[in-house]
Amino acid sequence: MLHFRKIAVVGTGYVGLVAGASFAEKGYQVICVDKDASKIETLKKGIPTIHEEGLKEILEKTVIEDKTLSFTTGIAEALQKSDVVFIAVGTPMGEDGSADLKYVREVAAEIGQNMDHPLIVVDKSTVPVGTAFMVRNAIAEELDKRGESIVFHVVSNPEFLAEGRAVRDMAEPSRVVVGADDAEVLEAMKELYAPFTRRNERFYGMNVVGAELTKYAANYLLALRVSGINAIANLCEVFGADAIQVRNAVASDPRIGDKFLHPSCGYGGSCFPKDVNALVHLAKKAGVAEEILAILQAPEILNNFQKGRVADKVVKHLGEDLSGKTFALWGLAFKKDTDDMRESASINLVRELSGRGAKINAYDPLAMEQARQIYLKDIPGISYVENMYDALNGADALVIMTETKKYLSPDFEKIAGTLKSPLIFDGRNLYNPEAMSELGIKYYGIGRGLSVKKL
């Protein structure tokens, strides 16, 4: 029976840093690797480089107090101090929709160049079917160049961490999926995760290909639910139904439930768009039937349309030329409790409104720095405020793009009294249209509050 206590994690993004810190909190000796020297120096002080609830406290405990977590820029040092190495680097979407594996391939080659004892190499990054085979070949090729014959195993262990609650998801996983082609290695991985799964048996062992496909399948099906309810919400607008009432009734069916079934301005982030596109690319490469491709492509097709729905509503009610108009914008990130703006619907909204001559007063509790420096840095007419109500000053309407907690029960009298006209465009359906009407606020949500087609 294999037993492991020393872990290396290559990559200190959302997945790598949370995983490394969580293993260290359980008493494992963990060393994390990243080529970004400034990031490593910050982490060595126990300061998180990403926003995740609870991460700061874990780093303070594991780095400063217990000293079970360390950081380095050198992969050779990390390999010498580990029995298991997790590859947790980025797999960005390529131009053709496929997952770009160049960073995974680079790490695999470096492992082969530097390993000096048997290792289990774990693909933790979200990767397509066949990646473990590629990683295995890359390591073996480098070992051959060195004339070395060192035993190693490559397993797949996809992550299922949601941004904003990644620490909690790691501590109390809904499932731990591991794919391995060796029974003893699979058992060793089960023991490695035992501190996280003791209360609930959530370990699912399978072959490598099955594990690689599981992550894509999970994100595809979740994306399908989001786009599915948004398709229904659009029908509700056409036929005069309230999408939330329809959704609540549908969700009462225990076979369906209410998870990921909220009419909205669409999904974003680093996972759903990238993984759905990668799955489509894999299917095309495998030559699957057009009928299968059609359903695999459906979530992204609808989601790309849905990201423009809030701007469509603005234009419908205020006109195509928005010169001289100012909009208060609450929410820049792709969802609440994160600073991540990747594929956020707010980017589409800001570009559309700005392109029509509008000015925007933007507020987000976490993502404004990301907007300033990266995602909206070249957009004219946008300014940022430090208080959500300051965004209302001089604005013609309020636009809401995330479901952030502080937006759920705001001061509606202040909103109505500060806006030039009491008008809300809500991409998250946070409020009740009837209640807004009683307050004298014109309210337009997703699948509600619009003039409808007469049958």
Whether the CB-CB separation of 259 and 225 falls below 8 Å is answered with yes
How many CA atoms are closer than 13 Å to the CA of 410, on its beta-carbon side? 23
Residues with active-site annotation: 271
Residue 18 phi, psi (nearest 5) = -65, -45
